[in-house]
Amino acid sequence: MRACHAKADELDDSDGSFGQFAHKLICLWIKARQASGAEPDKTVSTLLAWMDDDPYAFCHEIEKDAASAFDKAGLAAFEKQIRQRFEAASADPSSWPYRHCSIILRAIYSSQRNVQAYIRLTEQTGLEPEDCLVVAKLLAPRKLGEALDWIERGCTLDREKRFRSGAAYELERLHRELLTKLDRKDEALEAAWTDFLEHPSKFTYQDLMRFVPKIERKEWHEKALDAAATGADLGSLLELFTETKETERLAKQVRGSSHEALKNVSHYFTEPAAKRLEKNHPDLAASRWCAQGMRIVDAKKSKYYDAALSNFERARDCYQRAGLATEWEKTVRHVSSLHFRKSGFMNGFQALAAGAKRVEQPSFLERAKARWGEPQGNHHEGRKITRTGGPGCDYRRAYSRSTQR
C-alpha cells in the first residue's frame, strides 16, 4: 500500500482504474496472509488501519471485496472487530462510524450467508429495499416462498420512496423469476406488463417478452409498442423502435416530433435511429445526421469535429439519395454562415460541400502498428526503422555506425 500511496500523486485516476488495482492488491494481500498462516486478527487490524487512514480512497467500499477474500476464520475476526466498533458508536445512530460499521456488517453477513444475523441488523438500523434484495437472494436457493415475501416487501418499500432505489430493477426482475419458479407465470407476465407500462423502454420490453408465450408474441409486441407510443420519453421511444426494427413506426415518430425535441435527444438514441432510417427514409435520416453534426459544432466541441464531419457526409449522401440536393445546399449555406470562423472544422466541411469523399483517419493503434510494426518471425531480424539511420535503413547497420562514432 505504501507504493500505491507514493504513486497516487503522479497520476490522474479520474477513471478509477488505479483504485480498482488497489482493491485487487488488498484482496490478494488478504489471501496471501491467509495462505501463510498469519493471525486473522492481525490481518483485520491492518486492513482497518488502512481503511481509517485512506487519503486516496483506495479502501472506499472495499468491504464486499474484502469479505469475499476472507476465509471463515478471517470473516469471524472481521465481524468481531467491526461489531466492537459498531457497539461503541451505537450511542449516536446518526454518526458516520455507526452507519459505516452497519454497512460493513451487512457485507460480512451476506458473505457468511447468515440470514438471521442480517435480519437482526436491519431491525436495529432500519430496513431498506437493498436489504430485502440481499435477504431474498440468500433465501432463494432453499426457500422460494420466503424469498418472494422479501422481494414483495422490498418493492413496497421502494414505491414508498420519493425516488427509486438502486435495487428497484433487480427487485422487479427477481420478483418475476420467483413467480415463474413457483409456477405463477400469469402473475409474472402481469408484473412484467405493469413494469413496462410504468417505464417503457427497450429493456422493459425485453423483460416483458421473456414471459410472453411464444404463440402470443406478435399480439403482445403490437400491444406493447402501441402503449409505449403514448407513455415513453422520446429517446426511449426511438431506441425501442430501432431495437425492434419497427422502421415505419420510427419514421412516423420522427416526422411527428419537433426539431427542438429531436435535437435535445442524445446521439446514443438518434444515431442508431438514423442508420435504421437510411434505407427506406433517407430524407429523415439526413435531417438526423445534420442535427447531430450541428450539435457538435454549435457546442464548439473541437475534438469531435471529425465525428461532425462524418455526420454531415452521411447527411449529404442521404439527401442525394432522396433527390433533395437543394436541402443539402441549404444546409451548406446555413453551416457556413454560422461557423465560418472555425477553420479546424470548415476546411473539412468545404471539401464535403464540394463533393469530396472523407478519408477516415487511422486510429492511434493503427498508426502505432504502421510505425513500429515488426515483421513475422524473429523479433530483431530484418527490422526496419526510420529514426536512427534514415528512411528504410536496416537498424543493425545504423546501430553499428552509431556505436563506431
- Would residue 115 count as lying in a domain? yes
Split at pLDDT 50, 70, 90, the class of 56 is confident
No. of helices (H) and no. of strands (E), the chain: 23, 2
Read off the pLDDT of residues 265-287 as tens digits, 9 standing for 90 and up: 888 899 999 999 999 999 999 99
Split at pLDDT 50, 70, 90, the class of 376 is very low
**Burial readout 36-70 (b: 16 or more C-beta within 10 A, e: otherwise):** eeeebeebbebbbebbeeeebebbeebbbbbbebb
Q: Check whether residue 238 and residue 119 sit in a common domain.
A: no
The parent domain of residue 273 ranges over 233-360
- Asked whether the predicted pLDDT for residue 392 surpasses 70, the reply is no
* Residue with the larger pLDDT of the pair 129 and 57: 129
- Would residue 372 count as lying in a domain? no
- Asked whether the predicted pLDDT for residue 375 surpasses 70, the reply is no
Provide the 8-state DSSP code for 214.
Answer: G
Read off the pLDDT of residues 169-183 as tens digits, 9 standing for 90 and up: 899 999 999 999 999
- Would residue 82 count as lying in a domain? yes
- Would residue 39 count as lying in a domain? yes
CB 316 within 8 A of CB 352: yes
Count of other CB atoms within 10 angstroms of residue 399: 14
Which of 106, 126, 146 marks a domain boundary? Answer: 126
Residue with grid cell 500523486, as numbered in its chain: 9
Which of 111, 126, 141 marks a domain boundary? Answer: 126
pTM: 0.70
* Residue with the larger pLDDT of the pair 372 and 326: 326
Report pLDDT for 397.
41
- Would residue 167 count as lying in a domain? no
- Would residue 368 count as lying in a domain? no
Report pLDDT for 404.
43
Count of other CB atoms within 10 angstroms of residue 340: 12
- Would residue 314 count as lying in a domain? yes
Number of domains in the chain: 2
CB 274 within 8 A of CB 301: no
Report pLDDT for 379.
46
Q: In terms of Cα–Cα distance, which of 348, 298, 355 is closest to 328?
A: 355
Which of 342, 360, 378 marks a domain boundary? Answer: 360
* Residue with the larger pLDDT of the pair 32 and 395: 32
